[in-house]
Amino acid sequence: MNGSAREIYFLKALLNSFAELIGLKVNCSKSMMVPLNSPPDRFDILVNTFGCIKGSLPFTGLPLSLTKPTVADFWPLVNHCERRLAHTTAFFSEAGRLELVSAIFSALPTFAMSTFLLPKTIIRQVDMYRKHCLWRGSDLSSKKPSKVAWEIIRDTKENGGFGVLDLQTQNESLILRNLHKFFNKANIPWVHLLWSYYYSHGSLPMAHVRRGSF
């Protein structure tokens, strides 16, 4: 959002109104604000207005930084998949493990894929855990061969496949959804920031609020 104390104030008021409706309390101290081209004195005013902690780029979670993310920046996503695999029960049938692959392992990278074009190394690694979950369960040392080619697993059920998402195609599709914003939604802050940073000589003061929990 724009680095404006007025906008920060209304954002906080909106969250407080939502909290009153659902009976919970907003804990602003669990949120983090990250400045983008904001002077230190203005940033202090924004942080105090919202009541959150100060942050800086890069930060953990979605790997946002001022440079292109590297493979290492996405490695926490791979580690998350590995931890999930370790908790996969050996008592699941192959049909149950197929549901896990579709519902959990295919969904874990969705948030990152909606923002970044993931490196092929990361997609191959996530696919490796998806295959392992489907055919071998939680035994990371198992060398049990796959019963069906991965290309068939990722094919649609109408074509005789298993309907498991092709992460590369899914990633590209999620990224393409944002293309129209660069041409039709220039008033959106992050679009305006990119246009001003890459296609003009000036840049605007911005602030990114990473929302915490209630």
Instruction: Give tens-digit pLDDT for 5-63.
Output: 888 999 999 999 999 998 888 888 888 898 887 888 889 999 999 989 988 877 767 77
Beta bridge partners of residue 34, listed in sequence order: 208
57 near 65, Cβ under 8 Å?
yes
How confident is the model over 101-111, as a mean pLDDT?
Answer: 91
**How much is the mean pLDDT over the chain?**
82
Mapping DSSP to helix (H, G, I), strand (E, B) and coil, where does residue 208 land?
Answer: strand
User: Which pLDDT score, from 0 to 100, does residue 113 have?
Assistant: 92
Local confidence band at 207 (pLDDT 50, 70, 90 cut-offs): low
Tell me what percent of the residues of the chain surpass a pLDDT of 90.
Answer: 23
Question: Going by C-beta distance under 8 Å and a sequence separation of 6 or more, which residues neighbour residue 72?
Answer: none
Least confident of 32-46, 76-90, 163-177: 76-90
CB atoms within 10 A of CB 128: 15
Cis peptide before 58 (omega within 30 of 0): yes
Q: How far is CA 67 from CA 32, 70, 71, 114, 116, in A?
A: 20, 9, 13, 18, 12
Q: Provide DSSP, 140-201.
A: TT--PPPSS-HHHHTS-GGGTS-----HHHHHHHHHHTTTTHHHH-TTSHHHHHHHHHHHSS
pTM for this predicted structure: 0.65
**pLDDT tens, position by position, 113-123:** 988 889 999 99
Provide the 8-state DSSP code for 36.
E
Least confident of 81-85, 91-95, 96-100: 91-95
103 near 138, Cβ under 8 Å?
no
Comparing 148 with 212, the larger pLDDT belongs to: 148
